[in-house]
Amino acid sequence: MDVFCPDSELGYLRSRTRFAPGEKLLLDEAYRLAHLPLIAPDHPDVIPSRAGASYRMGRHERAFSLVLPVPPDELEKSAAYQELEGELRQSRFANKIAWGVLPKRRGKLHATICGSLSKDVPYRISNDERAALRQLGPLRVEVRGLFSGNINVGRLYLRVYPECRAGANSLRQVQRILGRPETDLYLVGLYNLTDHLEATEAEALQDIVARWWDRPILTLDVNCLWHLGSSDDLVLDSFVEEVIPLDQLSFCATA
């Protein structure tokens, strides 16, 4: 029987949006700086740039990360995913979802495990790190939805729950192998809002998030990770620098 890390060991509950009854949901500064310029550049609340930040209309120097790929074909054939998207398309705020961005990102859906490994120049994954990842072997994760966080408010995600191996979070084991900070949030960015939500729209989103919190969307057996480079947080211009196998025999294609 699969055993996935519970919410008590992850950061989703701590990091979710705190909806206020009867109030609008406002896109936060982080979102208006990094995301909104890419999907609604003429919106009056776009933050084109900010002192101390590298973003210029949503773009920045190329950053490289190690990510867990989510195959779009497997996601789209999930009955639960089809049901969730159907609800979103019929929701009060459906006209504020940037539906046109989905096909542009379809082949690069992922959850970040080790973010910002390097800037401009790809990170060098050592032979010892590669061997340790192969020794770790394929990963099994469960994808659940829907999630709205307390940072980048306006982005809607699916949540990744890693398997628990001998009492240990398997994705933290990956982070340890690369000597990176251990985290407890593994999010698949999927939908983007184009505007603030009115109170009734925010209430509708809150309802969907609550009802889908424990609903499994998809279980994945992950045989490879991606070394991904991108100059924007929606990975619109991204490319897979390298596919990193998690065993000796794995083949993992890029979209």
Sequence spans of domains, the chain: 7-25+61-245
Reported as a single tens digit per residue, the pLDDT across 78-128 is 999 999 999 999 999 999 999 999 999 999 999 999 999 999 999 999 999
CATH 3.90.1140 fits 7-25+61-245, yes or no: yes
User: 213: which residues sit within 8 A by CB, 6+ positions away?
Assistant: 144
Predicted confidence (pLDDT) at residue 208 exceeds the cutoff of 60: yes
Residue 227 contacts residue 123 (beta carbons within 8 Å): yes
What's the mean pLDDT when you consider all of the chain?
A: 95
Which segments of the chain does DSSP mark as H helices, in order? 12-15, 29-34, 36-39, 72-76, 79-89, 102-105, 127-136, 170-177, 199-211
CA-based angle 116:117:123, to the nearest 5? 140
Work out the pLDDT band at 52, boundaries 50, 70, 90. Answer: confident
pTM summary value: 0.94
